């Protein structure tokens, strides 16, 4: 198939993303009103906003390839126009084979053309199957992939079970969830139904969303005597993204399950507390700080969300890659590295200042103040207005008041000058 004889029944355009040249749906043709979400209206899915996610994925797969030290076989069963898988084939060094798939014939036609356009026919195969059927056909030990990437429009849950079985021992699974309304507590019943955990509408709901996604993966894998260990994740724009390594054995599954539990939360004073264990009774608990009744999110993943060695490797790989969003990614990875070993959840300073009727101080001043008192404190990539700390909420509030007093005194001093 050549560019001259590519025939589609919808408008297209040619774009460049990373090292890939791609024909994609012309999204403006499918936007009838300003509120329309054009990618979901187009006959073949393509979302240019997710380029940042794909840039980060290039680094994650390259870091993984470096750490395992062998060539990778990759599967993307929900490929759309093929942009993510084609970029893997072009930009990740040490890829030996890529299988991409979509249930839509239109998508397969466009993805096949894009594979040829980038000269990848030798080691890239395009299939036209149901995603779960494709993944299940690669579930036997000698056929599994090093990397399976589930990047749907919505929830990855319908594909997680078959995806886990299609990843070989020590392989990598990547999951994207764009359905943040359930995961962030707007539709809690939907979250329980899909992810098996209860969300909460808190200021740190995006971390809860990532932990609920991780918890769903871990419990799904454990049912098949497979362990899953989170090595990286991020919350960006309208989605959360997770990367985890897979270990085959009941013992590894049990070890993973030990990191499951709940996060209790007091909506009165904002105190929160992780509680390990799948069957903890939290319904009647009282807040240890103010005595109010607490609510809880979970069961969810309470283990680390970021492996520092993996993040450092991603930073190193970023120096050698040509990425449109490199500077934003470098800044994000720097913050993630600093929060890799930090306490669970974070405090949004705006939220606390609102409760205290205080103006919002400098984030760095609050962090410095907590460190001076002997507590851990750092920024988080989840929110530019938040901090992670092991300080009790009352100490955080005191630090905000001191930061305000310091700013007020400094302002008076400047006025006298």
pLDDT tens, position by position, 11-64 = 999 999 999 999 999 999 998 887 778 888 899 999 999 999 999 999 999 999
Return the number of other C-beta atoms located less than 10 Å from residue 274's C-beta: 15
- Asked whether the predicted pLDDT for residue 135 surpasses 70, the reply is yes
pLDDT tens, position by position, 367-386 = 999 999 999 999 999 999 99
Q: Which CATH number fits domain 12-301: 1.10.3470.10, 3.30.450.20, 3.50.50.60, 3.40.50.150?
A: 3.40.50.150
The more confident residue out of 30 and 346 is 346
Q: How do strand 124-127 and strand 95-101 relate by DSSP bridges?
A: parallel
Q: Which residues have CB under 8 Å from 57's CB, separation 6+?
A: 84, 88, 149, 174, 241
Q: Out of 18-27, 249-258, 357-366, which region has the weakest mean confidence (pLDDT)?
A: 357-366
CA–CA dist 402, 390 (Å, integer): 18
How much is the average pLDDT of 258-272?
94
pLDDT tens, position by position, 183-213 = 999 999 999 999 999 999 999 999 999 999 9
- Asked whether the predicted pLDDT for residue 284 surpasses 80, the reply is no
pLDDT tens, position by position, 71-105 = 999 999 999 999 999 999 999 999 999 999 999 99
Cα 250 to chain center, whole Å?
A: 26
Question: For position 2, what pLDDT does the model report?
Answer: 47
Highest mean pLDDT (candidates 130-139, 354-363, 401-410): 130-139
CATH C-level class of 347-417 = alpha beta
- In the chain, CATH 3.30.56.70 sits at 347-417
Question: For position 347, what pLDDT does the model report?
Answer: 97
Question: For position 408, what pLDDT does the model report?
Answer: 62
Question: For position 413, what pLDDT does the model report?
Answer: 52
Q: Out of 14-18, 215-219, 330-334, 412-416, which region has the weakest mean confidence (pLDDT)?
A: 412-416
Question: For position 278, what pLDDT does the model report?
Answer: 77
Q: What is the pTM of this model?
A: 0.95
């Amino acid at each position: 198939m050549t560019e001259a004889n590519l025939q589609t029944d919808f408008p297209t355009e040619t774009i460049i993303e990373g090292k890939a040249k791609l024909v994609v749906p012309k999204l403006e043709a499918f936007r009838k009103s300003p509120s329309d979400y054009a990618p979901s209206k187009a006959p073949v899915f393509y979302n240019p906003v997710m380029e940042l996610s794909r840039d980060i994925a290039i680094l994650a797969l390259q870091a993984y390839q470096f750490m395992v030290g062998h060539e990778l076989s990759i599967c993307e069963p929900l490929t759309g126009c093929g942009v993510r898988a084609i970029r893997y084939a072009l930009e990740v060094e040490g890829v030996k084979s890529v299988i991409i798939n979509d249930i839509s014939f239109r998508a397969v036609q466009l993805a096949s053309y894009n594979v040829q356009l980038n000269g990848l026919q030798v080691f890239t195969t395009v299939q036209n199957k149901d995603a779960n059927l494709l993944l299940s056909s690669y579930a036997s030990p000698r056929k599994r992939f090093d990397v399976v990437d589930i990047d749907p429009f919505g929830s990855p849950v319908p594909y997680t079970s078959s995806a886990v079985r299609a990843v070989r021992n020590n392989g990598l699974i990547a999951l994207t969830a764009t359905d943040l309304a359930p995961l962030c507590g707007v539709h809690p019943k939907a979250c329980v139904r899909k992810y098996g955990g209860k969300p909460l509408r808190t200021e740190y709901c995006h971390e809860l969303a990532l932990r609920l996604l991780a918890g769903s993966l871990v419990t799904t894998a454990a049912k098949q005597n497979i362990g899953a260990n989170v090595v990286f994740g991020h919350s960006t724009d309208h989605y959360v993204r997770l990367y985890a390594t897979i270990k085959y054995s009941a013992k590894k599954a049990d070890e993973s399950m030990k990191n499951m539990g709940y996060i209790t939360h007091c909506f009165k004073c904002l105190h929160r507390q992780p509680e390990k264990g799948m069957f903890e009774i939290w319904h009647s608990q009282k807040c240890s700080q103010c005595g109010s009744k607490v609510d809880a999110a979970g069961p969810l993943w309470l283990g680390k969300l970021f492996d520092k060695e993996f993040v450092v490797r991603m930073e190193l790989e970023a120096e050698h890659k040509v990425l449109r969003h490199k500077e934003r990614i470098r800044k994000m990875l720097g913050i993630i590295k600093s929060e890799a070993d930090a306490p669970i959840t974070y405090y949004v300073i705006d939220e606390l200042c609102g409760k205290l009727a205080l103006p919002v101080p400098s984030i760095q001043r609050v962090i410095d103040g907590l460190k001076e008192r002997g507590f851990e404190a750092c920024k988080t990539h989840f929110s530019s207005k938040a901090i992670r700390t092991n300080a009790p909420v009352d100490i955080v509030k005191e630090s905000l008041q001191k930061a305000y007093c310091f700013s007020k005194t400094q302002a008076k001093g400047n006025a006298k000058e």
